[in-house]
Amino acid sequence: MTLNIAIIGAGPAGYYTAEAALKHWGGTARIDIIDRLPTPFGLIRAGVAPDHQSIKAVTKRYEATNLGANVRFLGNVMVGRDVSIEELTRLYDAVVLSVGAPYDKAIGIPGDDLPGVLGSAAFVGWYNGHPDFAALPVDLAHHGVAIIGNGNVAIDCARILAKTTAELATTDIAGHTLAALEQSAVSDIHIIGRRGPHQASFTTKEAGELGHLERAVPIVRAGDLPPIEEDAALEPGHRKMVTHLRSFATEPRPEKPVTIHFEFFRRPVAVEGEGRVQRLIVETTRLENGQAVGTGELHAIPCGLVIACIGYRTATIDGVPYDNGRGRFASDDQGRIFPGLYASGWARRGPSGTIGTNRPDGFSVVDAIAADVTASKGGDAGAALDALLASRGARATHFGDWQTLDAHEVGRARPGAPREKLVSVAEMLGVLG
């Protein structure tokens, strides 16, 4: 039997699901990978920091999957706008939602709607040239920036703001961001954690990198660090990360124009300002059973920009059960929403882990499909989808179109940079003619 599988989302979770399906069914599976953007690779293109190019090399693997027989990429097709879930589940034997978690979790404090408060999905999308955020107003005319959260996304945002434009010029950072950074007045970047150094979820490499920036120096308050003997109880990788934080408290600091202040044991309580952000009010915390508890002591951090890096939510889609508390689709542990409809990656388990964590997710969801789908609906689901999209005037892009866009971006790159991204869908479709 030939199985027709639609995977929604052309990011890591989508490609690892396709890879697992090909391993399981070989040439008897026909796979359509559908994405709302004309370009593939999701978080690799729009989430991974531009100065971490080596991580982006994994797209070569996804490309190989997409160039195999029986796998198609259909970009610029939005589920919910161009085609419904109900239509897809009617056509395909299995539909897998690998749409990631592209929306910011709300901070939920007074003043968080002031101009100058951004979520990391927006800010990261802006520097990575995601079409949704290319026109984001990012005002870097102020000295202070407050970055809320103690995860790797917070470090990514701090590092991009702290680097020189020369350090970033040879990356694929969006041209509009490089131009904005040229004019940046930012000199004090505050990374705010509601808990302490031991509870931070930075990884070793990301924390360590902050110690080697050309024009920025990281600072940790020595008093925020627990007694060094307590590091022994940490998992070895995490202990190494904490060792970096310790070095930021003790090593001599060279004079540099930008300071990255780690503000541990501070929870955000309000954003204040006249018409836009001028300060973030934080409350000192202490740990009780591992959780942050406010002490009532307030501090104001002067800043013109607040970036909340506190986690993400999956988009809702009409007809798909959603777990509002967790901000993701309601599925079982394997990703089964109901037989025929599945979720994988962040859309199933929330925004955590590395790119590679999505690989076992792909195998797990394919096992669920294999258990549920014992007979194919038959027919050519891809051809039926093409006809449906054509009848609605939707202009789907295919992998060959991506190769054209890729060559175009590479061709117009700054000297030494891998590419200069196209940052609007209209521009991309214009290049394709």
Q: 44: which 2 tokens?
A: 């690799």
Asked if residue 310 binds ligand NAP (CB under 6 A), the reply is yes
For residue 111, give every residue at least 6 positions away whose Cβ sits within 8 Å of its Cβ, in sequence order, or none.
Answer: 117, 270, 271, 272, 273, 277
3-state helix, strand, coil in the chain (%, to 5): 40, 20, 40
Q: How far is the CB of 35 from ligand NAP (least distance, A)?
A: 20
Question: In angstroms, rounded to a whole number, what is the distance separating the alpha carbons of residues 19 and 33?
Answer: 11
Give the residue with the Cβ less far from ligand NAP, 129 or 382.
Answer: 129
Give the residue with the Cβ less far from ligand NAP, 52 or 377.
Answer: 52
Asked if residue 131 binds ligand NAP (CB under 6 A), the reply is no
Q: 65: which 2 tokens?
A: 């999957």
Asked if residue 203 binds ligand NAP (CB under 6 A), the reply is yes
Annotate 142-157 with b (16+ C-beta within 10 A) or e (fewer). Answer: bebbbbbbbbbbbbbb
Asked if residue 311 binds ligand NAP (CB under 6 A), the reply is yes
> For ligand NAP, how many residues bind (rule: CB under 6 A)?
26
Angle of CA points 38, 39, 45, to nearest 5°: 145
Give the residue with the Cβ less far from ligand NAP, 76 or 152.
Answer: 152
Q: How far is the CB of 67 from ligand NAP (least distance, A)?
A: 27
Interacting residue with ligand NAP among 110, 115, 353, 400 (CB under 6 A): 353
For 122, half-sphere exposure in the C-beta direction (CA atoms, 13 angstrom radius) is 15
Interacting residue with ligand NAP among 128, 150, 184, 331 (CB under 6 A): 150
User: Which 97-126 positions form the footprint of ligand NAP (CB under 6 A)?
Assistant: 107
Binding marks (x or -) toward ligand NAP, 236..265, rule CB under 6 A?
------------------------------
What is the CA 278 to chain-centroid distance, rounded? 27
**Residue nearest ligand NAP, CB atom distance:** 151
Question: In angstroms, rounded to a whole number, what is the distance separating the alpha carbons of residues 177 and 162?
Answer: 13
Interacting residue with ligand NAP among 40, 149, 197, 345 (CB under 6 A): 149
Asked if residue 337 binds ligand NAP (CB under 6 A), the reply is no
Interacting residue with ligand NAP among 56, 130, 142, 194 (CB under 6 A): 194
Asked if residue 170 binds ligand NAP (CB under 6 A), the reply is no
Give the residue with the Cβ less far from ligand NAP, 92 or 248.
Answer: 248
How many other CB atoms are found less than 10 A from the CB of residue 121? 26
Interacting residue with ligand NAP among 5, 245, 309, 369 (CB under 6 A): 309
Asked if residue 191 binds ligand NAP (CB under 6 A), the reply is no
For 35, half-sphere exposure in the C-beta direction (CA atoms, 13 angstrom radius) is 26
Give the residue with the Cβ less far from ligand NAP, 290 or 393.
Answer: 290
Contact region for ligand NAP (CB under 6 A) — 31-39, 152-160, 240-248, 272-280?
152-160
Distances (CA, A) of 239 to 137, 139, 197, 263, 377: 38, 36, 10, 19, 53
DSSP string, 57-102: TTHHHHHHHHHSTTEEEEBS--BTTTB-HHHHHHHSSEEEE-----
Give the residue with the Cβ less far from ligand NAP, 309 or 428.
Answer: 309
Interacting residue with ligand NAP among 84, 164, 165, 199 (CB under 6 A): 199
Q: Can you list the alpha helix ranges (DSSP code H) found in 279-396?
A: 346-349, 358-372, 381-391
Question: In angstroms, rounded to a whole number, what is the distance separating the alpha carbons of residues 286 and 338?
Answer: 43
CA dihedral of 403, 346, 386, 340, whole degrees rounded to 10: 150
For residue 241, give every residue at least 6 positions away whose Cβ sits within 8 Å of its Cβ, in sequence order, or none.
Answer: 200, 202, 203, 204, 207, 208
Give the residue with the Cβ less far from ligand NAP, 122 or 373.
Answer: 122
Q: How far is the CB of 212 from ligand NAP (least distance, A)?
A: 15
Q: How far is the CB of 394 from ligand NAP (least distance, A)?
A: 32
Q: How far is the CB of 291 from ligand NAP (least distance, A)?
A: 8
Give the residue with the Cβ less far from ligand NAP, 154 or 173.
Answer: 154
Residues facing 145 on adjacent strands: 189, 305
Q: How far is the CB of 82 from ligand NAP (least distance, A)?
A: 29
Asked if residue 128 binds ligand NAP (CB under 6 A), the reply is no
Check if the beta carbon of residue 342 is closer than 8 Å to that of residue 96: yes
Interface contacts to ligand NAP, rule CB under 6 A: 52, 107, 148-154, 156, 193-195, 199, 201, 203, 206, 267-268, 309-311, 351-354
